A and B are shown apart, each in its own frame.
Chain A
Amino acid sequence: MDNQYTVQDKTSWPLWEVFIRSKQGLDHKHVGSLHAADAAMAIENARDVYTRRMEGVSIWVVESRHIHASNPDEAASLYDPANDKVYRHPTFYDLPDELKHM
Chain B
Amino acid sequence: MSTFVQITVLMSSAIETGFQEKIDQDIRIEPRDWMPEAYRKTLIRQISQHAHSEIVGMLPEANWITRAPTLKRKATLIAKVQDEAGHGLYLYSSAETLGVSREEMIDQLHQGKAKYSSIFNYPTLTWADMGAIGWLVDGAAIMNQVPLCRASYGPYARAMVRICREESFHQRQGFEILLVLSKGNEAQRRMCQDAIDRWWWPSVMMFGPNDDASPHTAQSMRWKIKRFTNDELRQRFVDVCAGQVKLLGMHLPDPDLVWNEARQHYDFGPIDWNEFREVINGNGPCNKERLAARVKAHADGAWVREAALAHAQKNSIREKAA
A-to-B contact residues, CB < 8 Å? 2-9, 11-13, 15, 32-35, 37-38, 41, 48-49, 52-53, 69, 71-73
Contact = CB atoms under 8 A, between A and B. Distances in A.
A18 to B, nearest CB: 9
Nearest to B89: A49
B103 A52 contact: no
Interface in B82-110: 82-83, 86, 89-90, 93-94, 96-99, 101-103
Majority SS of interface residues in chain B?
helix
A5 B31 CA distance: 9
A58 to B, nearest CB: 18
Contacts of B315: 38
Contact-residue bracket for chain B? 20 to 34
B31 A33 contact: no
- Residue of B33, B166, B309 most packed against chain A (CB within 10 A): B309
Contact of B93 (A3, A9, A13, A41): A3
B96 A38 contact: no
Nearest to A18: B93
Contact of B90 (A6, A12, A32, A73): A32
Interface of B: 30-34, 79, 82-83, 86, 89-90, 93-94, 96-99, 101-103, 155, 158-159, 162, 166, 305-306, 308-309, 311-312, 315-316
| List of 9 A-B pairs having minimum Cβ-Cβ separation, nearest first | A5-B99, A38-B312, A37-B308, A37-B312, A2-B97, A33-B93, A72-B32, A2-B31, A49-B86
Nearest to A10: B309
Contacts of A11: 305-306, 309
Majority SS of interface residues in chain A?
loop
A13 B101 contact: no
B89 A41 contact: no
A53 B166 contact: yes
Contacts of A2: 30-31, 93-94, 96-97, 155
Contact of A5 (B34, B79, B97): B97
B96 A33 contact: yes
A53 B170 CA distance: 14
B155 A34 contact: no
A81 B32 CA distance: 22
Contacts of A3: 31, 93, 96-97
B31 A41 contact: no
Given A3-B96, A37-B308, 17 more contacts: A2-B93, A2-B97, A3-B93, A5-B96, A6-B102, A11-B306, A13-B305, A13-B309, A32-B94, A32-B159, A32-B162, A34-B93, A38-B308, A38-B312, A52-B166, A69-B32, A71-B32
A96 B110 CA distance: 71
A15 B96 CA distance: 10
B303 to A, nearest CB: 12
A4 B155 CA distance: 13
A69 B33 CA distance: 12
B106 to A, nearest CB: 10
A53 B86 CA distance: 12
Nearest to A53: B166
Contacts of B89: 34, 49
30 contacts: A2-B93, A2-B96, A3-B31, A3-B96, A4-B31, A4-B32, A5-B96, A5-B97, A6-B96, A6-B101, A6-B102, A9-B103, A11-B305, A11-B306, A12-B101, A12-B305, A32-B162, A34-B89, A34-B93, A37-B305, A37-B309, A38-B308, A38-B311, A38-B312, A38-B315, A41-B308, A49-B89, A69-B32, A72-B32, A73-B34
A52 B97 contact: no
A2 to B, nearest CB: 4
A85 B315 CA distance: 51
Nearest to A73: B34
